[in-house]
Amino acid sequence: MKKYRSFYRKMEKKIKCKLQFDMKKKLTLLIVLLININYFCFAQPPQSSKKADSLQVEYITKELELTSDESDKLWPIYNNYKNEIKSIKKEDQSDQLVLEEKFLNIRKKYKDDFKAVLGTDERVNKLFVAEKNFTEMLRKELIKRNINREGT
């Protein structure tokens, strides 16, 4: 009977060791996954943003029928304008009226710079309309893709 007790105790110790080892493997795997999840979650949005930006440049260039000289002068100014718009969007958006007023002030600020490159107020207004139309097209396309993804 004593032989069996010692045998069971030895087996019990081996099983505990094996369980502890398995738990360590699982814990290590979990930690590695949690550390790398940031890479998988945040790796793609900048690419899609860059792609959308390049599509916007192409769209506006086509809509305004920009020459290469106009294009070279316009895009650095437009990028500064867009960066200011983005910084406003990051602010508190609880008061929509104040937010829209800030957007309008930035447009007014850059209107003369755009006019210096584009030549007329009509083309400057066409730039703002093209920007709005592109944003609306992009929004509709994203909604369409989300609907297709959910339906599949």
What gap in Å lies between CA 109 and CA 121, rounded to an integer?
Answer: 14
How would residue 149 be classed by pLDDT, with cut points 50, 70 and 90?
confident
Task: Indicate left, alpha or beta for 108 from its phi (over 0: left) and psi (-120 to 50: alpha).
Answer: alpha
Helix (H, G, I), strand (E, B) or coil at 120: coil
The per-residue pLDDT for range 101-132, each reduced to its tens digit, is 999 999 999 999 999 999 999 999 999 999 99
Based on the fold, state whether residues 100 and 145 are members of the same structural domain. yes
114 and 56 share one domain:
yes
Do 69 and 38 fall within a single domain? no
Q: Are residues 91 and 142 in the same domain?
A: yes
Measured distance CA(90)–CA(141) in Å, rounded: 23
What's the rounded mean pLDDT across residues 8-21? Answer: 63
Domain range enclosing 144: 45-151
Tally the domains of the chain.
2
Q: Are residues 55 and 129 in the same domain?
A: yes
Taking a C-beta distance cutoff of 8 angstroms, is the pair 118, 64 a contact?
A: yes
Instruction: Please report how many Cα atoms fall inside a 13 Å half-sphere around the Cα of residue 28, on the Cβ side.
Output: 6
Please tell me the pTM assigned to this model.
0.64
Q: Does one domain contain both 105 and 83?
A: yes
Within this chain, do residues 142 and 76 fall inside the same structural domain, yes or no?
yes
Whether residue 33 is found in the same domain as residue 53: no
Same domain (yes/no): 130, 59: yes
